[in-house]
């Protein structure tokens, strides 16, 4: 039985291949090893009732996650997963590689994530090439849920958000400076907290302030990230993530303005990623 996971900072999507061709899908909290340790990851997985009856029969686990860019972070996740899936081969890779498999398949192209965080890299048909981008929510993450959340909160707290929009924001979230500081600087998963304000933009997309914010955020992402690659006009750029999916029209407009050719836009790549992994393993078995 093969288990595939696509994990972001806010949520992890899982899919298990069951006997007979059926599949079991479930979700957990985000398992970014920058924000949760090995013990926490193991605890979260072991408290998922859907997977427990099948744990001993899982033979392969393919985990694609944000924060899994270094060997020590990948080892942390692998060690945590091995505590439940004791009979399984476990592979841990970056979420960008998972997104590339889900969108590019085996073809070359650019793959960008616009969810809680943001990143972009080039997929050469086999692997994602090293990138200097993806430096996290404190220093980067342009155009991501975190980036937009920070803009909303700061404009609200500084009093520069339009009065009508500010009233709606306060009515929905009941925020003040102390609440924000506590959640950002003193509690776990500040990136997920900041990104949690993105639905507000979806509710007020027609407001000029939100429209301008979306345009400026996507423009900063495109100019800082995608256009940093000299040959970005030569390949299609695929997008994954809830921000890209829900705001695809302003994203398309900005990309068109800057000569970026958009391919697929997926909210969550788990189904396409699962299908790719299963087909790859079947092809491997046939070759043997």
> CATH number for the domain including 237?
3.30.420.40
pLDDT, position 133? 64
Number of compact structural domains in the chain: 2
- What's the mean pLDDT in 207-220? 96
Four-residue CA torsion sign, 50, 51, 56, 59: positive
Residue 250 and residue 146 share a domain: yes
pLDDT, position 10? 76
> What CA–CA distance (Å, rounded) separates 39 from 76?
9
Average pLDDT, the chain: 91
Residue 245 and residue 133 share a domain: yes
Residue 70 and residue 122 share a domain: no
Residue 250 and residue 130 share a domain: yes
Give the residue from 131, 20, 64 showing the smallest Cα distance to 272.
Answer: 64
Q: Are 137 and 191 in contact (CB under 8 A)?
A: yes
Residues of the chain with pLDDT > 90: what percent? 71
pLDDT for residue 287 is more than 90: no
Residue 261 and residue 274 share a domain: no
pLDDT, position 286? 67
Most confidently modeled of 16-30, 80-94, 134-148?
80-94
Range of the domain at 163: 107-266
- What's the mean pLDDT in 152-174? 96
- pTM (2 decimals)? 0.83
Residue 152 and residue 131 share a domain: yes
Strand partners, 176: none
137: confidence class by pLDDT, cuts 50, 70, 90: low
* Stronger pLDDT, 12 or 191, i.e. the higher one: 12
- What's the mean pLDDT in 42-69? 91
Residue 184 and residue 90 share a domain: no
pLDDT for residue 140 is more than 80: no
Residue 111 and residue 97 share a domain: no
Give the residue from 51, 52, 226 showing the smallest Cα distance to 134.
Answer: 226
Residue 130 and residue 262 share a domain: yes
Residue 192 and residue 63 share a domain: no
- What's the mean pLDDT in 252-281? 94
- What's the mean pLDDT in 221-247? 93
190: confidence class by pLDDT, cuts 50, 70, 90: confident
Give the residue from 21, 25, 32, 26 showing the smallest Cα distance to 190.
Answer: 32
Residue 258 and residue 210 share a domain: yes
Residue 124 and residue 79 share a domain: no
- What's the mean pLDDT in 106-116? 92
Strand partners, 16: 3, 24
pLDDT, position 116? 86
- What's the mean pLDDT in 47-72? 91
20: confidence class by pLDDT, cuts 50, 70, 90: confident
- What's the mean pLDDT in 223-251? 93
Fill in the DSSP letter of residue 23: E
């Amino acid at each position: 039985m093969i288990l595939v996971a696509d994990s972001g900072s806010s949520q992890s999507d899982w899919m298990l291949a069951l006997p007979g061709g059926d599949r079991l899908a479930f979700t957990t909290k985000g398992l970014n090893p920058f924000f949760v340790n090995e013990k926490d990851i193991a605890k979260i997985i072991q408290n998922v009732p859907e997977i427990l009856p099948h744990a001993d029969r899982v033979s392969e686990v393919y985990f694609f996650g944000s924060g899994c860019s270094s060997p020590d972070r990948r080892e942390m996740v692998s060690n945590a997963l091995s505590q439940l899936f004791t009979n399984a081969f476990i592979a841990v890779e970056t979420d960008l590689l998972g997104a590339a498999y889900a969108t590019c398949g085996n073809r070359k192209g650019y793959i960008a994530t616009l969810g809680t965080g943001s990143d972009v890299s080039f997929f050469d048909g086999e692997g994602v090439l090293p990138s200097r981008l993806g430096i996290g929510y404190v220093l980067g993450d342009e155009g991501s849920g975190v980036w937009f959340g920070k803009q909303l909160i700061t404009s609200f707290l500084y009093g520069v958000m339009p009065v009508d929009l500010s009233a709606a924001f306060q009515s929905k979230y009941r925020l003040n400076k102390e609440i924000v500081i506590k959640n950002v600087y003193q509690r776990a998963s500040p990136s997920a907290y900041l990104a949690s304000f993105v639905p507000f933009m979806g509710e007020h997309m027609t407001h000029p302030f939100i429209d301008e914010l979306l345009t400026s955020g996507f423009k900063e992402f495109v100019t800082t990230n995608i256009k940093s690659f000299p040959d970005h006009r030569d390949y299609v750029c695929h997008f994954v993530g809830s921000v890209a999916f829900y705001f695809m029209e302003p994203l398309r407009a900005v990309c068109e303005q800057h000569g970026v050719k958009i391919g697929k836009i997926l909210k969550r790549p788990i189904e396409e990623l699962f299908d790719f992994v299963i087909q790859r393993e079947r092809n491997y078995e046939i070759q043997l």
